[in-house]
Amino acid sequence: MRFAETGFNLEVDLSRGNIDRVETDPRMTELYLGGLGTNAKILWDRVPPETEPFSEDNLLIFSTGLLCGTAAPGCNRTIVSTFSPQTRLMAYSMMGGFWAPELKHAGYDKVIISGQSPALVYLWIDNDKVEIRDASHLRGKGAIETAECIRSELKDPNVQVAAIGLAGENRVFFASIEQGRSSASRGGVGAVMGDKGLKAIAVRGTKDVNVARPAEFMNLCNDVLKYIKAREENPVPGVMPILAGLGSPQEMKLVDEEWHTTNFMWGNSRTRRKDFWNKEIEEKWRETQENVRTRLISCYNCPMKCGATISVPGIATYMMKCFSKLTYTMAAYSDLDFGFKIAQRATEYGVDGFSAPQVMAFGLELLEAGILTDADVQGMPADNEGRFFWLLDRIVRREGIGDVLADGTYWAARRIGKGAEAFDHNTIKKHEQLPLKLGMLNPVYFLMYATGEKINITQIEGQFPQAPFPTREEREEFVKDWIQVPDEKFKQYLLDWEPRGDHSNPYYPTVEASCDIVDWQEKMHYIDDALGTCAGLSSFPLKPPYHIHNFPDFISAATGFDFDEARLWQAATRTRTLLRAINVRLGLRRADDKPPENHWKKRFPELEAKLLDEYYKLKGWNDQGIPTRESLHELELDYVGEDLQQRGILSDG
Amino acid sequence: MAKVKKTVKGITIVADKCNGCRACELICSAFHATPKYSSSNPARSRIRVVREPLRDIYLPVYAGEYTAAECTGRDKYIIDGKEYAECDFCRASCPSRNLFKEPDSGLPLKCDMCEDDPALEKPKCVEWCLNDALIYEERVEEVEEEDVSPGDVEIGVDSLIDKYGLQQVLDTIARASKR
Residue B36 has pLDDT above 90, yes or no: yes
A147-199 confidence digits (pLDDT tens): 999 999 999 989 999 999 999 999 999 999 999 889 999 999 999 999 999 99
Residue A243's pLDDT is 87
Alpha-carbon distance of B141 to B120, in angstroms, equals: 20
Residues A252, A199 share a domain:
no
Do A414 and A469 have their domain in common?
Answer: no
Burial label for A116, CB within 10 Å (0-12, 13-18, 19+), is: middle
What's the pLDDT score for residue B4? 86
Q: What is the mean pLDDT of residues A620-635?
A: 98
Contact A157 B51 (CB under 8 A): yes
Local confidence band at B156 (pLDDT 50, 70, 90 cut-offs): confident
The domain boundary residue, chosen from A204, A230, A258:
A204
**Does residue A478 share a domain with residue A383?**
no
Query: Is the confidence at residue B32, as pLDDT, over 60?
Result: yes
Cβ distance A295 to B58 less than 8 Å, yes or no, reads yes
Interface residues from chain B to A (CB-CB < 8 Å): 19-23, 26-27, 30, 33, 35-44, 50-56, 58, 103, 128-131
Q: A206 vs B103: CB contact, 8 Å cut-off? A: yes
Q: Inspect the interface and report whether the beta carbons of A302 and B21 lie closer than 8 Å.
A: yes
- How far, in Å, CA of B77 to CA of A214, rounded? 42
Kindly determine whether residue B54 and residue A317, on different chains, have CB atoms separated by under 8 Å. yes
Which among A228, A297, A316 has the least Cβ separation from residue B19? A297
Q: What is the mean pLDDT of chain A?
A: 96
User: How many angstroms separate the CA atoms of B157 and B68, rounded?
Assistant: 12
Whether residue A236 contacts residue A249, with contact meaning beta carbons closer than 8 Å, is answered with: no
Which chain A residues touch B129 with a CB distance below 8 Å?
303
Burial code (b: 16+ CB inside 10 Å, e: under 16) for B93-118 equals bbeeeebbbebeeebbbbbebbeeee
**Given this model, what pLDDT does residue B148 score?**
64
Most B CBs within 10 Å, among A146, A155, A206, A344, to test the B interface: A206
Cβ atoms of A204 and A158 within 8 Å: the answer is yes
**Would you call A73 and B19 a contact, using CB atoms and an 8 Å cutoff?**
no
**Looking at chain B, which residue has its C-alpha nearest residue A301?**
B23
Are A424 and A443 found together in one domain?
no
Q: Least CB-CB distance to B20: which of A205, A225, A298? A: A298
Question: Within a domain: residue A231?
Answer: no
What value does the mean pLDDT take over residues A3-15? 98
Residues B21, A296: C-beta atoms closer than 8 Å: no
The answer to whether the Cβ–Cβ distance between A210 and B56 falls below 8 Å is: no
Tell me if A249 is assigned to some domain. Answer: yes
pLDDT reading at A653 higher than 60: no
Domain membership flag for residue A234: no
**Structural domain spans, chain B:** 3-146, 148-179
Instruction: Tell me: do A414 and A466 sit in the same domain.
Output: no
In a domain, A269, yes or no: yes
Q: Looking at the domain assignment, is residue A30 inside a domain?
A: yes
pLDDT of residue B1: 59
What pLDDT score was predicted for residue A622? 97
- At A93 the three-state DSSP class reads strand
Most distant pair of Cα atoms in chain A: their distance: 69
Interface test with B, best of A295, A305, A347 (most B CBs within 10 A): A295
pLDDT digit string, tens, across residues A25-49? 999 999 999 999 999 999 999 999 9
Contacts of A210 in chain B (CB under 8 A): 38-39
Residues 22-51 of A with CB under 8 A from B: none
Structural domain including A69 reads: 8-204
Q: How confident is the model over A599-610, as pLDDT tens digits?
A: 999 999 999 999
Q: Which residue of B has its CA nearest to A215?
A: B37
- pLDDT, residue B163, reads 87
CATH of the domain at A554: 1.10.599.10
Residue A109 has pLDDT above 80, yes or no: yes
pLDDT tens figures, A293-326: 999 999 999 999 999 999 999 999 999 987 889 9
Q: What percent of chain A has pLDDT over 90?
A: 95
Do A145 and A56 lie in one domain? The reply is yes
Digit-coded pLDDT (tens) for A547-571: 999 999 999 999 999 999 999 999 9
Verify that A348 and A453 share a domain, yes or no. Answer: no
Pick from B38, B41, B128: which is nearest to A105 by CB?
B41
Contacts of B30 in chain A (CB under 8 A): 71, 214, 218
Cβ neighbours of B103 in A, within 8 Å? 206-207
> Which residues neighbour A243 within 8 Å (Cβ) at sequence distance 6 or greater?
A236, A249, A466, A541, A542
Phi and psi based region of residue A314 (left: phi greater than 0; alpha: psi -120 to 50; beta: remaining): left
Flag whether A228 is in a domain.
no
- Residue A401 and residue A255 share a domain: yes
The per-residue pLDDT for A199 is: 98
Q: Does A450 share its domain with A415?
A: no
Q: Please tell me if residue A459 touches chain B, with a CB cutoff of 8 Å.
A: no
What A413-418 contacts at long range (C-beta under 8 Å, 24+ apart), as own/partner pairs, is: A413/A362, A416/A366, A416/A371, A416/A372, A418/A371
- Over range A461-480, report the average pLDDT: 95
pLDDT at position A637 over 60: yes
Query: Is residue A237 domain-resident?
Result: no
- Radius of gyration, CA atoms only, chain B: 18
pLDDT value at position B74? 84
- Candidates B36, B130, B132, B134, partner chain A, best to mutate (most A CBs within 10 A): B130
Closest CB from A180, A301, A311 relative to B26: A301
Contact A305 B19 (CB under 8 A): yes
- Answer whether A75 touches B (CB < 8 Å): no
Could you say which of A105, A299, A303 has the minimum Cβ distance to residue B131? Answer: A303
User: CA-CA distance, A279 to A283, in Å (whole number)?
Assistant: 6
- CB contact under 8 Å between A209 and B38, yes or no, is no
Please name the member of B40, B44, B50 whose beta carbon is closest to the beta carbon of A71. B40
Count of A–B CB contacts within 8 Å?
Answer: 96
Cβ–Cβ gap A208/B27 under 8 Å: no
- Kindly report, residue by residue over B97-150, the tens digit of the pLDDT: 889 999 989 999 999 999 998 999 999 999 999 999 999 999 998 887 766 667
CA distance to partner chain A, nearest, from residue B167 (Å): 30
* B39 chain-A contacts, CB cut-off 8 A: 208-211
DSSP 8-state class, residue B108: B
Q: What phi and psi values does residue A503 have, to the nearest 5 degrees?
A: -100, 40
- % of chain A surpassing 70 pLDDT: 100
Tell me which of B14, B16, B17, B21 to substitute to probe the interface with A (most A C-beta atoms closer than 10 Å): B21
Residue A310 in any domain: the answer is: yes
The reported pLDDT for the residue numbered A176 is 98
Q: How would residue A242 be classed by pLDDT, with cut points 50, 70 and 90?
A: confident
Give the pLDDT confidence score for residue A431 in this predicted structure.
97
| Residues of B with Cβ-Cβ distance to A317 under 8 angstroms | 54-56
| Residue A217: pLDDT over 80 | yes
> Does the pLDDT of residue A433 top 70, yes or no?
yes
Whether the Cβ atoms of residue A106 and residue A85 lie closer than 8 Å to each other: no
pLDDT value at residue B154: 86
CA A624 – CA A398 distance, rounded (Å): 38
172-201 of A, contacting B, C-beta below 8 A: 180-181
* Residues of chain B contacting A310 with CB distance shorter than 8 Å: none
Cβ separation A298–B53 shorter than 8 A: no
Of B39, B44, B131, the CB nearest to A210: B39
Count of domains forming chain A = 3
**Tens of pLDDT, residues A567-592:** 999 999 999 999 999 999 999 999 99
Are the Cβ atoms of A211 and B20 closer than 8 angstroms? no
Is B39 in contact with A228 (Cβ distance < 8 A)? Answer: no
Boundary of a domain, candidates A176, A204, A232: A204
Looking at the structure, tell me whether residues A428 and A500 fall in a common domain: no
Chain B residues with beta carbon closer than 8 angstroms to that of A211: 37-40
Terminal-residue alpha carbon distance, chain B = 45
Q: Is the CB of A214 less than 8 angstroms away from the CB of B43?
A: no
Phi, psi (deg, nearest 5) at residue A134: -60, 135
Residues of B in contact with A144 (CB under 8 A): 54
Domain endpoint, select from A204, A229, A262: A204
Cβ-count burial A58-93 (b if 16+ within 10 Å, e if not): bbbbbbbbbbbbbbbbbbbbbbbbbbbbbbbbbbbb
Statement to judge: residues A405 and A475 lie in one domain: no
